[in-house]
Structure 1
Amino acid sequence: MSYLSLPSSSSSSSRRTWRYEVFLSFRGEDTRNNFTGHLYEALQRKGIHTFKDDIKLPRGKQIRPELLTAIEQSQISVVVLSKNYANSSWCLDELVEICKGINKPGYTVLPIFYHVNPSDIRKQEGPFKEAFDKYEQNSSLEIPKWKSALENVADLAGHHVNGNKSESDIIEKIVMDVTDRLKHKFSSLADDLVGMQSRVEAFVNLLNLDSSDDDVQFVGILGMPGVGKTTLATVVYDIISRDFEACCLLEDVSKHKGPDGLVRLQTQLLSETVGIDQEVWNKLKGIELISNRLRKCKTLIVVDNVDCVDQLEKLVGKPEWFGPGSRIIITTRDEQILERHGVHNDKVYKVELLTNEEALELLCRRAFKSDHPGDGFEELTCKLLQYAKLLPLAIKVLGSSLVNRKQSVWKAQLERLKENPNQEVMGVLETSIGLLEPEDQDIFVDVACFFEGVDENYAKKILDHCGFNPELGIENLCKKSLIAIVNGTLWMHDLLKEVGRKIARREFPREPGKWSRLWLYKDLQAVKTATEKVEAIVLKEKDVDVDEMLPLRAEALSQMTRLRLIIFPSMKFAGKLNNLSDGLRFLSWKKFPFSCLPSSFEPTKLVELILIDSNIRLLWEGEKALPELKIIDLRGSKNLIKTPNLKGVKNLEKLDLEGCSGLLEVDASIENLGKLKILNLRDCDRLISIPNTLFLSTSLKTLNVPGCLILAQRLNFGSPP
């Protein structure tokens, strides 16, 4: 059984997207106002997107190039061969172009023999001989091509109009034939179907409709919000629905919450599939009716935008509810819903973002009602696509909002989007985030603000230090199509990233001091008053230009008492750092500008302390209880004189002092560290001594001392490596 006449992957570059479903070729004087006119109207009534030259050609344009383009972009060419067809060199040129695609996958030529004999066409006899006799008198060079095209089309199976049957009956059969070859209603969604051909073909193959088995199959469509899951499901439903006994498309079931919502959906399902008009009073009665009435019907059901397993259990619970050969299509953003309902991974189609070419075409169709940007809009179009980042929802919404708008309006819209993302797009994306568990939402916001484009393992390490469960959380976000892991790196769509950052800003978009997270230097600089809102600050080297930016206020940082995470590149600070949040779990500050950590700083949950190339002379005075601290990294801190008292850091596993060229002594408390595995003293060239007990440590795996010249001499190591 062949459901689609679509291009194969090998031909996708030449016929990747059909603009028209049918191209009508005919001799206007013979059939324009009768047979062909009626056929065109019948095709239109069926929603079949048809090109007919006197209808579709824009005024003022050259006819020949437009016709050739229309032929190339049509899936089926219907050729009405009438007695005077060959009298038109125009028609014959059309036919030559049409026949060029006869053997291409996905392309069909359907001849209509209108009161002519195929044999006369093939052999150029009768009226066709008369036409060619005239051409030969003019010594036309195109004659061999024309004859070959007529021979090719005459050999194809087609429809005959010869007076034995009414033309209306024949037109009805032709329309049915065309519909069977197309098996879809793409035209009803024409503006949304850019890039849909290959996706439809792949998903229909996944449905395995040609299978001789009569098993019931549940098949999923998965993808991030706005990527086109519903469009794909709707198109496929239109393609295959006629081959099922009972059909129903339940749109956006996530909007129907609670028992009453499910009961309404059950009622709709029964009404559309088997015509039961009685009201369903409760979910259990609905389940009973669905499973009893549909168990013998070959059924097609689309359950769209599922966000809860209970919706599936009450609507399409088990395969035995449906008759042999049934197909249940489920669209969702959450892979876990499909898993919990027993949909196998090999029965899940993941919808990808558009390609660059598809995104451009979709935007042009929406904004310009054309396949190309308007004159002077090329650069503006590129900028809008950079914002939308290949997401169909964003492209459709923004493109539709700019139809027939001036360049000045486009520029104003682009400027507004920098500060205020489109609310219609954001609303769809935010819905998914609102359904997350609180910890998963925190991880999502952290990734959006700090870790998109960052190594997966590094991000997980920091999130783990922050008290989250990143193994579970990252997996949940991946399964909900909110993030992805690409080559070991966390990836998130830019618009989802903007949603996460909007959550961080909450209801204070212009007051960074009240945000939960800060990720830009300018925003941190704007914090002037005490705040208990900020819980994490991560600045990236590439976003900080030390020479161009004013110093930050150390006092503002001192007042952020809820901080759990700080990652700073080298930056300028003014004032005194009187305090740091005791809630810190991870502190990384390159070129820390102060000589000592604040005396009041006792972060009992701190796991890593990284102060590379710092100005530290003594890390802290006295003893501090830091039971969670596992790593201290002070590499390159040339002013460091002595390591601190480490008695309260009993779980320390790594102490990295490489390049601390001012270091004279390692404090004796280091001998109490029963879990220390790595001590790096490389290039501590003024170091005089280390506790002898270190050499008896059973936990220490690596003691790195190359470049410690004085120490090597005192310990009789000889010349250091």
Structure 2
Amino acid sequence: MNYLSLPSSSSSRRTWKYEVFLSFRGEDTRNSFTDHLHAALQRKGIYTFKDDKRLQRGESIRPELLKAIEQSRISLVVLSKSFADSTWCLDELAKICEAIGQPGYTVLPIFYHVDPSDVRKQRGDFKQAFDKHERGSSDKVPGWKSALEQVGQLAGYDVRNKSESGIIDEIVMDVIHKLKHKFSSLADDLVGMQSRAEAFEKLLNLDSSDDILFVGIWGMPGAGKTTLAAVVYDRISHNFDASCLLLDVSKDRKRSGLVRLQQQLLCETVGKDQEVWEEHTGTNLISTRLRETKTLIVVDGVDHFDQLKKLVGKHEWFGPGSRIIITTRDDKILERRGVGKDKVYKVELLNDEEALQLFCVRAFKSDVPDDGFEELTHSFLQYAKALPLAIQVLGSSLRTRKQSEWKALLDRLKEIPDREIMKVLETSVHSLDQRDEDIFVDVACFFKGEDEKYAKKILDHCGFNPELGINILCERSLLVIVNGTLRMHDLLQEVGWKIAKGDFPQEPAKWSRLWLYRDLQAVRTVSNVLIIHREDVDVNEMLPLRAEVLSQMNCLRLIIFPSMKFSGKLNNLSNDLRFLSWQKFPFSTLPPSFEPAKLVELVLIDSNIRLLWEGVKALPELKTVDLRGSKNLIKTPNLKGVKNLEKLNLEGCSGLLEVDASIGDLTKLTFLNLKSCDRLISIPNTIFLSTSLETLNLPGCLKLAQRLNFQGPRGPNEQS
């Protein structure tokens, strides 16, 4: 169970959108106490509604506020001297008081330099305010008075003659305690996790504020290492001055090295955008910026010691009280890092009671089996053998099915050796509709660990419905989205690979997808999709691929190549392509026969392109062309056949001399980036008259600036 599972929705539970609603008199505290309180809540990751931060422009304010109150678990009411002067504040307070007593809802009054008894009895400033309201003959006055009386009787915080910063710290800690820092919202579906989290926290020795500890989580795939680390992180991160959760670092390292992870760690802990260009710089920054900071870092999915060395190298990199949590399948990595056996938590499989409860939650939305399903439940648990991921997937696939369907599925599973948990997962995948299964296989082969929006964009280009499909995969426990990233258990990924290979596991030429460099070398034709990840081959040992092989692949819908070595001539590219991304494209032009009518996005960053194509090509679906860093590009192509183009990125095309006049005819172009095209001397005047263009980026176009006799930004449509 290397991922988080969220609880099922229930009609009997109130739906919370915000954790805290802040009610206050803007003239009194908006830019002082309330602003500081709001910032303190945000620093601890508490989702807070504050009217000048959350209201959408153009919406009616009052209904939005009332709705936000209903959707908040806690209301903090800052009662200041002129609070009652505002009918707006009083209406807000009356709405807040309506919810007092409802399960899970809390109101905390903050008496900001006012006497609680004055609030309760409407004396002093509050009496003067109500005298004005009563002269106005408002029929709301009795309700307002009742609300003030009610909130004035609640236990709250009296700010008079006290340190505001100290009170704010107390309030934030009280809120965190009342929220249980989100763990309660996960516990319904994380069977057995609370006891494990509490046991692991003992190893962290959180009461000690001086020592710096490295602690490990170790166990087999699917046992729940990542889930445990994420839950503990959620429970304790508010105790630290800075924190960062780095998920699946081995995947990131293979795809883009450690630079992105180093940058993420610095941004989330130091709190500012940190530019890291190479690993040595990142290591130096991490080792110096956090020395005085009490920091919590989770480094998840470590498979190489170098990852630890460059992300959380030594104890002295971090301030007193810091805790570094490492999850890995390889206990030798922990041993090498010096994490003692007494500081390693081994994640065991579920016991019988936990396995039964988890299965029932998934299959029946209950802690016990439905009548008549007891024996069948026992049989499925025997098959799953206490592996949390297998239990979750099986239980979800059986939900709402009849007994006859359970028996049929169990009979089918009996044909597969029970030691092969992979078969359990594969059965669940094959229960999907074909389109959803295609999305699952694409995610398994290409998009595991990728940004959700990026994956959905490409899947959408390929003609799928990823918004629905991804949701279905999440509902079936086949996929989870964590911090905007697609996560899939390793065993599920193996299922996707098996489906892609079909009945020919030893013949890559017959697979529906290719995702490893070594497999492409044995291929002549592929019917579906092609993508290459380079991690299976050392770049220094990489043999060139023959371009003629790629030229023979006529039915590709997707190509994503990192920088690779090619030999020969590229005579052809599949006209079925929907998305083409090829870093350092080695050829000077695209093949003359290449005219993909369904191509949506063309990305050739740092390419060797001199001219993209000759003449006019009919590319009606093409919306994005990205040629950044293509220094040999001399001129943009004729774009008359690309009428739906929306984005053209030519940043860093230092050899570019001319932009073709056809660009002025594009009525849907919104983005044109010519930054650092320092040899550019010609651009159509019609581009400055475009009604669709929103961004025109020209910094660094020195020759063009001299020719057009302008300096700096040219107006609202140009960025500097």
Given the two structures, how large is their TM-score scaled by the length of structure 2? 0.46
Given the two structures, how large is their TM-score scaled by the length of structure 1? 0.46
Larger-gyration structure (1/2):
1
